[in-house]
Chains A and B, each alone.
Chain A
Amino acid sequence: AQKITQTQPGMFVQEKEAVTLDCTYDTSDQSYGLFWYKQPSSGEMIFLIYQGSYDEQNATEGRYSLNFQKARKSANLVISASQLGDSAMYFCAMREVTQGGSEKLVFGKGTKLTVNP
């Protein structure tokens, strides 16, 4: 079963507008971490924001915020005031440690965001 689902292969937004990128996850663990990464066309993976499963407040980092709805198992990324430089692939990922002690960072398939001038 897919652990991380990003249902939007591509999204378009006008410059200066806000955009929400969807992410739902599946886990039976109580303790897990959710991450968003940005991958521009140059290829590097850039960490954007983190939300812990026990965090009561939604995470924010500058123009990025994470809309965390634990009961719905969703962790949507909100980018406010989009800029042309925000055009990139965005990946949602979940980090969990299994009972056996193995480590997993599981990625979704990504959403390609295009910001139009």
Chain B
Amino acid sequence: NAGVTQTPKFQVLKTGQSMTLQCAQDMNHEYMSWYRQDPGMGLRLIHYSVGAGITDQGEVPNGYNVSRSTTEDFPLRLLSAAPSQTSVYFCASSYSRRVGDTQYFGPGTRLTVL
């Protein structure tokens, strides 16, 4: 049981490039989400999904796309990278969207956009 896995761990992009951050979980969790962590800002929700085929926007969705074709995978796509997207990205999952369900986090991806 690997929990929540993320790849890559580190990535450097040039402005305008696109890329996909991968996230997978093997706990059969329905709910998955993406956060970004910036210094002094805590974590902010980018997008989330309550099940395969269902996604919705969080607090800071601009510049990012997501899809959920399977229960296990929830990739985050940066369409045209900007320096403002330099951040640490965390994927998280929980059994459901109930308020009492704990979200478990992946190890994070540190992204730098030059």
Binding site for B on A (CB under 8 A): 4, 31-33, 35, 37, 43-47, 50, 52-53, 91, 93, 95-97, 102-110
A-B contact count (CB 8 A): 66
Q: Does B105 contact A (CB under 8 A)?
A: yes
Q: In the complex the two chains form, what is the Cα distance from A70 to B110 in whole Å?
A: 37
Can you show 9 pairs from A to B with CB atoms below 8 A apart?
Answer: A44-B107, A44-B108, A47-B102, A52-B100, A91-B42, A93-B43, A95-B100, A103-B48, A105-B103
Q: In the complex the two chains form, what is the Cα distance from A96 to B97 in whole Å?
A: 9
* Residues of chain B with a CB closer than 8 A to A106's CB: 45
* Residues of chain B with a CB closer than 8 A to A104's CB: 45, 58-59
Establish whether residues A32 and B99, one from each chain, have CB atoms under 8 Å apart when the complex forms: yes
Q: What 3 A-B pairs come out closest when comparing CB atoms? A: A45-B105, A107-B42, A33-B99
Establish whether residues B99 and A109, one from each chain, have CB atoms under 8 Å apart when the complex forms: no
Establish whether residues A44 and B105, one from each chain, have CB atoms under 8 Å apart when the complex forms: yes
Binding site for A on B (CB under 8 A): 31, 33, 35, 40-45, 48, 50, 56, 58-59, 88, 90, 92, 97-105, 107-108, 110
* Residues of chain B with a CB closer than 8 A to A105's CB: 33, 45, 92, 103
* Residues of chain A with a CB closer than 8 A to B43's CB: 45, 91, 93, 107
Establish whether residues B41 and A97, one from each chain, have CB atoms under 8 Å apart when the complex forms: no
Q: In the complex the two chains form, what is the Cα distance from A38 to B42 in whole Å?
A: 12
- How far is the CB of B41 from the nearest CB of chain A, in Å? 7
* Residues of chain A with a CB closer than 8 A to B42's CB: 4, 91, 107-110
Task: Identify the interface centre among A44, A91, A97, A103: most chain B CB within 10 Å of its CB.
Answer: A103
* Residues of chain B with a CB closer than 8 A to A93's CB: 43
Known: A44-B107, A105-B103. 8 other contacts (CB 8 A): A33-B101, A45-B90, A91-B42, A93-B43, A103-B50, A104-B58, A104-B59, A109-B40
Taking CB as reference atom, which chain A residue is nearest B44?
A107
* Residues of chain B with a CB closer than 8 A to A35's CB: 102-103
